[in-house]
Amino acid sequence: MAWVWIVIAVQFVLGCLEAWRPARLEWRQLAPEKWRNVGIAVVIYFGTGVVALLYDTHFTPLLTSLRTELGANLWPQRWPLITQVLLLFVLVELIWYWLHRLEHRFSAIWRVSGHGAHHSFKHLGAINFATNHPLELVWIAFPSALVGVLLGAGPAIGGAVVLATVQASIVHSNLQLNSRVIGWFFTTNQYHIRHHSQVLAESNTNYGCSTIVWDRVFGTFASGPTLETGTGPTEPSTWQKLWMPVREPVDTSIAP
Ligand SMILES: [Zn+2]
């Protein structure tokens, strides 16, 4: 529940700032668009609960017995909590970096994850941290489930998930929040908006949604202004977004 209240508080603060001083006026989400996105986020929230239950009943026991068999209780439980959280955050992001890169590399993975739906929005805001296709929840939950259970990390994994979620809200926000110092480690919204570009070469950069260090390590980091976001010149309807795993929009310019 702490996670839910933190997300609501962060969304409220970022939403107020976006209404007060948006980075792009034309991206200001008016009531119908905002409520549509909030509706998608609520569906995604309940979908996350279903996926968490599936992982708990099928995936966690498998990984726990694997950890016990390997005797791999190596996690430094006695380290300061903040150190544990940051270490887990970086490890979870490493796995997400490669999953996300694969989504953009292979057409089949792009389709089966529904990742195109998340890229199809023309006006980004903090609420877009949760405007994903329901199918993608299985992918999004995988890194933290794998790292948390396999390493026996304990409650610190919750801190890493909270940090990643807050960061995901910030990087989608329609605000001028860029800092070269912070942006050495954390993904800034300028970097992530570039990943949402409708230009293929710009979209295939900055796969790290919360930390940018893995893009720096693996050579996919890029900075610079982004003119337009989306999968193409037009934004598909909500229904078309839902069908994107089956039928790609005809004007898509970034699908692999
Ligand atoms: Zn992406």
Q: Give the Å distance between the CA of 196 and the centre of ligand 1.
A: 7
Q: Give the Å distance between the CA of 195 and the centre of ligand 1.
A: 6
Q: Which residues contact 169 (CB under 8 A, 6 or more apart)?
A: 7, 10, 11, 14, 126, 129
Name the DSSP letter for residue 86.
Answer: H
Q: What average pLDDT does the segment 166-181 reach? A: 92
Q: Give the Å distance between the CA of 75 and the centre of ligand 1.
A: 31
* Segment 83-106, tens digit of pLDDT: 999 999 999 999 999 999 999 999
Percent of the chain residues topping a pLDDT of 90: 79
Q: Give the Å distance between the CA of 54 and the centre of ligand 1.
A: 24
Could you tell me the pLDDT band of residue 154, with boundaries at 50, 70 and 90? confident
- The DSSP secondary structure of 36-69, one letter per residue, reads HHHHHHHHHHHHHHHHHHHIIIIIHHHHHHHHHH
Could you tell me the pLDDT band of residue 71, with boundaries at 50, 70 and 90? confident
Q: Give the Å distance between the CA of 79 and the centre of ligand 1.
A: 34
Could you tell me the pLDDT band of residue 177, with boundaries at 50, 70 and 90? confident
Predicted local confidence at residue 63, as pLDDT: 86
Predicted local confidence at residue 66, as pLDDT: 85
Q: Give the Å distance between the CA of 92 and the centre of ligand 1.
A: 16
Q: Give the Å distance between the CA of 209 and the centre of ligand 1.
A: 9
Q: What average pLDDT does the segment 223-244 reach? A: 94
Q: In the predicted model, is pLDDT for residue 74 greater than 80? A: no
Could you tell me the pLDDT band of residue 70, with boundaries at 50, 70 and 90? confident
Q: Give the Å distance between the CA of 174 and the centre of ligand 1.
A: 18
* Segment 12-26, tens digit of pLDDT: 999 999 999 999 999
Q: Give the Å distance between the CA of 204 and the centre of ligand 1.
A: 8
Q: Give the Å distance between the CA of 108 and the centre of ligand 1.
A: 14
* Segment 93-142, tens digit of pLDDT: 999 999 999 999 999 999 999 999 999 999 999 999 999 999 999 999 99
Q: Give the Å distance between the CA of 252 and the centre of ligand 1.
A: 14
Q: What average pLDDT does the segment 230-235 reach? A: 95
Predicted local confidence at residue 2, as pLDDT: 84
Q: Give the Å distance between the CA of 158 and the centre of ligand 1.
A: 24
Q: Any idea which of 16-25, 106-115, 150-159, 199-208 has the lowest mean pLDDT?
A: 150-159
Q: Give the Å distance between the CA of 65 and the centre of ligand 1.
A: 33
Predicted local confidence at residue 108, as pLDDT: 96
Q: Give the Å distance between the CA of 115 and the centre of ligand 1.
A: 7
Name the DSSP letter for residue 151.
Answer: T
Burial class (CB in 10 A: 0-12, 13-18, 19+), 172: buried
Q: Which of 27, 24, 7 is nearest to 176 (CA)?
A: 24
Predicted local confidence at residue 180, as pLDDT: 84
Q: Give the Å distance between the CA of 188 and the centre of ligand 1.
A: 15
Q: Give the Å distance between the CA of 178 and the centre of ligand 1.
A: 20
Q: Are 174 and 125 in contact (CB under 8 A)?
A: yes
Q: In the predicted model, is pLDDT for residue 72 greater than 80? A: no
Predicted local confidence at residue 226, as pLDDT: 94
